[in-house]
Structure 1
Amino acid sequence: MAQAADNNPTKPLRSYQHLWTDTNGISHVARCPVSNFFLKSMSPPAGPQWQDPMEPQTATVMMTVQPRHWNGAWHPDPKPQWIIPLKGRWWVRAMDGTRVEMGPGDILFGEDQDVRPMTDGPYKGKKGHDAGNVGDDEVTLLVIQSANPPERNKPCRYH
């Protein structure tokens, strides 16, 4: 039986984690809303779906599989990149100590390329972020690396 069309659908609200760098070269993680959706068909006659497109850019798309018990150690992301876990759970810790765990369907935008080593505190000498797998399984990630340069001190710049 066909479902009746919703003539007044509610605009969705989604979010992503943004690993960003401040003007002092310290990385942080912010939870960012995504709310600029509009209804449009991606390819008529397909029905409309909520979309919030970004500016066009050159990007490399890859899938990675982190082995069981993978530990990323402290490092900056190689390029601004979107990371979407497909299978398993992993975590990221910024230089300010903020730690987030992500699983399938969560989204992280890693933009900590312009970091500087910490001068004191528990992460003295560290820069970028620390990361690792949660549990005993491999973690499969979809990674979309942008050719655009990183931007400093702009948390939640995609919304």
Structure 2
Amino acid sequence: MITLVPLLPENVVCFYRWLRDKQVIEYSMSVFATLRTEEDIDHWYAATLQDKKSINLGIYLQETNELIGYAGISSLSQVNQSGEYFILLGEKAYWGRGIGTEVTRQVLALGFAVHGLNRIMLTVSEPNVGGLKAYAKAGFVVEGRLRKACFRNKEFHDKILMSVLQSEWQSQLAAAGLTVPG
């Protein structure tokens, strides 16, 4: 259904529309709410592509090769063998189709099997019910709650801290009768 490929400089054009859509960025990184112009987005995007502590991947539909979002792992720590998962599914027509769960599973496999991480975490806004379900389906477990840590739609809400460990991920694969990729 989808393929993950490193983002290219020319992909920035898609972000112009996505980051101007309040629904798309509602529960995304706070920085997206501050990017007002194409120039702002260009600067953020160029820095993102050069970030050596992140894996930034475009989410492409296999059938059409259309870019529909981006995902990856940021804050990579070699010392702690950890990172933070992120996803932005920019094309709303593909919301609710299981793509978020599939992308999450593929990024976890990349993080654990290819990059040798031990822990991948994320934070998700509590009202983002679809995100919470997709992350749990992909193997993330709730670790805690960051109380009133996010301000959206003129009110504060909690962020849920979730993670998955490499050993848990391997156990999930084994329980499903799958082998560790790599």
Give the TM interval when normalised to the shorter protein. Answer: under 0.3
TM-score after normalising by structure 2: 0.21
Higher fraction of helix:
2
By relative contact order (CA 8 Å, sep 6+), the higher-ranking structure is: 1
TM-score after normalising by structure 1: 0.23
